[in-house]
Structure 1
């Protein structure tokens, strides 16, 4: 009976350890809605939030697709100069660098997949929105347009 019990205890310990280790990677990213106001209208996106260092570091790495209307919003509280890259990112992205008041400071269009070239914000920003490459051109989104989301304060 003892060997059976010892094996059973080891199984439970292994299962518990597996749950603890997996819990961080199985946690679903917070998803929220974001709007971009352009001269042609309002464009709505469903975005995953990247708030922690770990979430910001991973970003959209290893993804093979990103549907239109989806994206990831990086929170860089407090406002700061930011540099991004495309390491381990398999899809081209448009990166929108957004000031604390919600104004788009700069857009890097169709970034090159798997590149380690840094893409700078061009000044302090509160957030960076990543969407599928070509989105900003297709929707007429430009620097100076406004982003409505709780992350950004209204003037």
Structure 2
């Protein structure tokens, strides 16, 4: 019986971690950003695991919400949409908050969408959010990360 208990605990831990991987992540810190008069309530993905999961498995997201991915240093960032159910737009953002480029991304694809220059930040919003507000390359966002 003693030999079975560690195996049972390991199986339960594996099952719990597998189930957690198939669920949207929650409990991330949030930051308020703005693009002119437009306010954004963004969850912040800081760690490699948080960035890897991103908005996967999420079935809906309010229009004023998004996710800000924060990297340790500027480099070319590339994103894909594996296990992501929502169509998203990703703004690749320089340290000072200037949008470098924006990519529209289709759900459940492995197509790479990359920054045109090295960036530290990527902001994902519902697809079309940036275009509907006239936000494009060269637009400057504001908020505490960009100071």
TM over 0.5: yes
What pairs with 1:5-154 in structure 2 (closer than 5 Å)?
Answer: 28-37=27-36, 42-109=37-104, 111-153=105-147
Q: Distance in 2 between matches of 1:27 and 1:66?
A: 12
Runs (4+) of structure 1 exceeding 6 A deviation are none
Q: Distance in 1 between matches of 2:74 and 2:45?
A: 15
Q: Distance in 2 between matches of 1:133 and 1:113?
A: 10
| Aligned-residue CA RMSD (Å) | 2.0
Any stretches of 5+ residues in structure 2 without a counterpart? none
> How far is the alpha carbon of 1:99 from its aligned partner?
0.4
SS of residue paired to 1:128: strand
Q: Distance in 1 between matches of 2:80 and 2:121?
A: 15
- How does the TM-score come out when normalised to structure 2? 0.81
Q: Distance in 2 between matches of 1:27 and 1:114?
A: 20
Q: Distance in 2 between matches of 1:152 and 1:126?
A: 10
How many equivalent residue pairs?
A: 130
Q: Distance in 2 between matches of 1:77 and 1:144?
A: 22
Q: Please identify the structure whose Cα radius of gyration is greater.
A: 1
